[in-house]
Amino acid sequence: AEWVWTPSLSWAPDGRYLACTVHAAGPGDLIPQDSPLFHVYGVRLDGQVKAPLAEGVGMWANPQWAWTASGPWAIAYGQSRSPTSSQESQYDLFLMDRDGSDKVRLFPPALEDPGLVAPQFAWSPDGTHLVVVWQGDLYLVDVATGQAHQLTADGNSGHPRWSR
């Protein structure tokens, strides 16, 4: 194989749950491993809870938990614009509550804007902002308002991380 899909995992702030991207049951007789569909699941570490939080998100959803100012926890994730061909698809950045409710599209600023490619983003330590890579530049997104501010303009940014 020329490449291997390795899904990301994200710990919930309380350390009892993981958010992950998993293969979904496919159309027809496709087994999940061969399906082009992917969902974000919340999984309790004791195995007692395995719940779909967002369906048809795409293979590069990259869900990430955080404490937020507006509530106890939230999950940011990429939503494929073409879920059945998500490997090459563009993505939008969404935010949802820890139970999968109240999904809100955050970024890019307008639906007609080009989407994210294999979304790269990171939560601020206080849970009020996300830093997002879009078209090679960093953008700071306020999760309460959705307002975005461009931080770089060289087109060479990637893999954002916060420092405390």
Q: Which class is 9-150 in CATH?
A: mainly beta
Per-residue pLDDT tens digits for 2-37 = 777 888 899 998 889 999 999 888 777 778 788 889
Residue 27: predicted pLDDT: 75
Would you say the pTM of this structure is higher than 0.75? yes
pLDDT of res. 28:
78
**Tens-digit pLDDT profile for the chain (164 aa)?**
677 788 889 999 888 999 999 988 877 777 878 888 999 999 999 988 899 999 999 999 999 999 876 667 899 999 999 999 999 999 999 999 999 999 999 999 888 899 999 999 999 999 999 999 999 999 999 999 999 999 999 999 999 999 87
Closest by alpha carbon to 129, among 76, 90, 61? Answer: 76
d(CA 32, CA 9): 19
Locate 26 and state its tokens.
């496919």
Which conformational region is residue 69 in: left (phi greater than 0), alpha (psi within -120 to 50 degrees), or beta? alpha
